[in-house]
Amino acid sequence: MVRKRIVVLYGGKADEHSISCISAAGVLAAMDEERFEAVPIGITKQGEWLTGCTDPRDFDFKKTPLPVVSAGEGTSRVVLDMGLGGDGFFARSSPDDGVQGQSSANKHSTLTSLGHIDAVLPILHGPYGEDGTVQGLLEMLGVPYVGCGVFASAACMDKHFTKILLTDAGIPVAPDVTLDTRPYTTASSFDSAAGEFIAQVRTAKLRYPLFVKPSRAGSSFGVTKVERAGDAAELATAVREASRHDWKVLVEQGIDGREIECAVLASRISEEPRASWPGEIVLDRRESGDVQFYDFDSKYIDSGASHVQVPADLPAETLRRVQEIAIKAFKAVDGIGMSRVDTFVGADGNIVVNEVNTIPGFTPISMYPKAWEATGVNYGKLITTLIESALDPA
């Protein structure tokens, strides 16, 4: 059998750079080597595409829990020829290691083909990877890729527009107000605008607690829980923190419910999307008052802060309704390939969609693969199915 050559893109310019590296390590280790030849390409935080850098499978996560892509000995920049499609991937090298300095990158450099590429598996989270930018580049290049297309990727990266699409489809979402923070450039300007922020919250009739978050970021970067009703200073501080990641800031009404996530898989365009058993993020120290919401540390740093339970401990009928809503949300945003739909389930059984993640975390212990494992599709088979969906989408 001739193996298909699959570029695995990881790293990226977004805050979630290290999470992408961790996900890529798991994916590369689980890929079926008899069917696929992996071609890892790392993207630095500055946006350089590199080949020959440290293989994610060789990262020492005990010494460096949050690894980064960096240039080094034997590393070459990746160059794309947009007119060659799958044959358009090249490594540019030079005798003086041009990757280390912009000025020498073109001096005496040579281009070496990386060989024909059959498809790309983007394991990129956040802006410049999950937001339609890479997807658009691959569309222009004419190379198949795993996951949602340009529109769904862009729409789901922006929580503001995700809510517009979901609301139009009749899917409940948390009440919110969107703030434009571009006029505020200093700490004092945010403090001065505190009254304006609180006025917009009151006009929208949002109930506390509030969650203030960047509209276009992930992995809980920049998210703050605001609990003191009417405290304009606390709200302004939270808005400023979110604005460090995106000028568009969402202030959402907190939903009193359990965080239930459902993995969706669409292996063929002609087939109905499938939903996994819904799972729950259980915050193990919430009762003690320690971790109150699923923040960055509880996701990736503090292994004792939370665990994944699949299926969630809910009535069968509620689980079925979560699956139905997840598929409906996936269709509403024009999803293809994969997505993780995050919901809140209230004590009364009402379900509210929080967001749709088009490239969810993909470590072996992340919710997306764990949910499918509990549904009968193991990690390796899941990766194979997703790659095949790109190679043969019809």
Active site members: 16, 219, 366
Amino acid identity of residue 44, one-letter, is: T
Interatomic CA distance for residues 253 and 206, integer angstroms: 5
Interatomic CA distance for residues 246 and 229, integer angstroms: 24
User: According to the annotation, is 259 in a ligand binding site?
Assistant: yes
User: According to the annotation, is 205 in a ligand binding site?
Assistant: no
User: According to the annotation, is 106 in a ligand binding site?
Assistant: no
Q: CA nearest 48: which of 72, 27, 65?
A: 72
Decide if 293 contacts 305 (C-beta within 8 A). no
User: According to the annotation, is 86 in a ligand binding site?
Assistant: no
Interatomic CA distance for residues 152 and 356, integer angstroms: 10
User: According to the annotation, is 357 in a ligand binding site?
Assistant: yes
Interatomic CA distance for residues 301 and 280, integer angstroms: 18
Decide if 229 contacts 251 (C-beta within 8 A). no
User: According to the annotation, is 192 in a ligand binding site?
Assistant: no
User: According to the annotation, is 94 in a ligand binding site?
Assistant: no
Q: CA nearest 390: which of 214, 271, 266, 209?
A: 266
User: According to the annotation, is 213 in a ligand binding site?
Assistant: yes
User: Token pair of 386, please?
Assistant: 């997703």
User: According to the annotation, is 191 in a ligand binding site?
Assistant: no
User: According to the annotation, is 159 in a ligand binding site?
Assistant: yes
Interatomic CA distance for residues 234 and 225, integer angstroms: 10
Enumerate the H helices of the chain as residue ranges: 17-30, 133-141, 150-157, 159-168, 187-192, 194-203, 232-243, 296, 316-332, 367-375, 379-391
Cβ neighbors of 76 (< 8 A, separation 6 or more) are: 50, 51, 52, 91, 92, 93, 99, 112
User: According to the annotation, is 355 in a ligand binding site?
Assistant: yes
User: According to the annotation, is 219 in a ligand binding site?
Assistant: yes
Which sign, positive or negative, has the C-alpha torsion 267, 333, 341, 26? Answer: positive
Cβ neighbors of 67 (< 8 A, separation 6 or more) are: 18, 21, 22, 54, 56, 59, 61
Give the alpha-carbon dihedral of 271, 273, 274, 278, to 10 degrees. Answer: 180
User: According to the annotation, is 373 in a ligand binding site?
Assistant: no
User: According to the annotation, is 212 in a ligand binding site?
Assistant: yes
Which sign, positive or negative, has the C-alpha torsion 115, 116, 118, 122? Answer: positive
Q: Output the known binding site for Mg(2+).
A: 342, 355, 357
List binding-site positions. 159, 211-213, 219-220, 252-259, 342, 354-355, 357
Q: Residue positions in the annotated binding site for ATP?
A: 159, 211-213, 219-220, 252-259, 354-355
